[in-house]
Structure 1
């Protein structure tokens, strides 16, 4: 009976490891660093992200207003090239994106953005990564336009006054898209119990393998002891 239970536990752990590895191949846990997506996402919030291969394999695609993970290709304040950023997808290939001092236009229509709480004022923003770049918006009628060619996207942070985004580094390329956020969990990386739980989920395969090795070693030792007992002859 004990051996049967041990075998069942081994199979259970093996199945969990396989599922976790499959999850890791298609998804990843990430967390926000900063407030550029406030109040939609909080600093340190742990996210479940579908990797690019999963987006392609499951035909999830990218849609306007998706929250996406992109790879930064330019030096930004606090973010070196290669850093992953979380932003909202605003403009799609073929769109004409217009930015006025306070409003985003898509194909000449104002974009409804109920998720924006901290509204932008581009007059005070370093537009195009230029310290006085916002000066061009001193005219209330000025509109900065970007026509998005094939494989080009426009991203913005929900916290418009405090986000380095396509206003700063321009449209991004499809190759920069690293996945889309499927779930913003209630866990926070800066709160150690939440961080510990996230780490356990992320590293479960390694822990599970060690458990299986340990259980099999104990089973081996028990079998050896049983064999010795069977062949032990009492005087």
Structure 2
């Protein structure tokens, strides 16, 4: 019995020019939607920043990349898009540097409007009560009366802004600094190595950009010691083993800090 003859393959159907154009337009439209959404988010909701100094260590390290949530202009209201602009004691904030508004700084809010603030032996007192600060570190440094016993009018410091020195003298009562309405007093967590409100004054509410939300990437410094976990792992490897390509490619970042919430 003869088998039926094989049917020849159907010739490929040509793609119409109109279909190709529709596909290309759809791709371009999707890309434009993504770009518009990204611009909207960066403009109105969050903004990326890189930490340039060690004044907020150990909370934030040099090379940390953080996403900052922008705040509503009002101190209380929420716009529905932006979170409430209310600032609390202990908040970490990003703001325009009062001396050079083209720069952004990041510090922690210590004093609120109306507070009476002083430092004694480096410890903060608010309204004559010591402030519990689990986030602050005090690394060994030579004594500094102005830094550690602020406000101190008997001695000055070459790093103090002259305009702040003049203004501060009119805001001291019985050895305490009175924080005026609409202003905030900020300090770095690395308390003995931070140029902050002690040296250049208050942060006005209108100069606050937002609050760091999380660390989305952290770039290790060239001179920095390797990750302790990585060092432990290396110690367990046979002698003579050289770091592999993967080790070299991954050692440039602090992967353990990725997606950490900033507190």
Contact 1:118–1:159 (8 Å) recurs in 2: yes
Task: Work out whether 1:163 is the aligned partner of 2:194.
Answer: yes
Contact 1:32–1:46 (8 Å) recurs in 2: yes
What TM-score, normalized to structure 2? Answer: 0.58
1:46 CA drift (Å): 0.9
Q: CA RMSD in A?
A: 3.4
Per-residue CA deviation, residues 110-165 of structure 1 (Å, 9 max, x unaligned), is 211111133587942654793389xxxxxxxxx95211111011000000111001
Contact 2:73–2:206 (8 Å) recurs in 1: no
Task: Work out whether 1:69 is the aligned partner of 2:94.
Answer: yes
Q: Following the alignment from structure 2 to structure 1, what is the Cα–Cα distance between the partners of residues 29 and 101?
A: 44
Contact 1:120–1:160 (8 Å) recurs in 2: no
Task: Tell me: CA distance 1:115–1:170, structure 2 relative to 1, closer, same or farther (3 Å).
Answer: same
Unaligned runs of 5+ in 2: 1-18, 160-173, 223-248, 254-263
Bigger mean CA offset, 15-24 vs 54-63: 54-63
Q: Secondary structure at the match of 1:29?
A: strand
Bigger mean CA offset, 121-130 vs 56-65: 121-130
Contact 1:99–1:144 (8 Å) recurs in 2: no
Q: What residue in structure 1 maps to residue 42 of structure 2?
A: 24
Bigger mean CA offset, 11-20 vs 115-124: 115-124
User: Of 25, 35, 59, which aligns to 1:40?
Assistant: 59
Task: Work out whether 1:9 is the aligned partner of 2:27.
Answer: yes
- TM alignment of 1:189-204, pairs within 5 A: none
Aligned residues: 181
Q: What residue in structure 1 maps to residue 113 of structure 2?
A: 93
Q: Secondary structure at the match of 2:89?
A: coil
Task: Tell me: CA distance 1:147–1:12, structure 2 relative to 1, closer, same or farther (3 Å).
Answer: same
What TM-score, normalized to structure 1? Answer: 0.64
Task: Tell me: CA distance 1:122–1:109, structure 2 relative to 1, closer, same or farther (3 Å).
Answer: farther
Contact 1:117–1:158 (8 Å) recurs in 2: yes
1:48 CA drift (Å): 1.0
Unaligned runs of 5+ in 1: 75-79, 134-142, 196-235
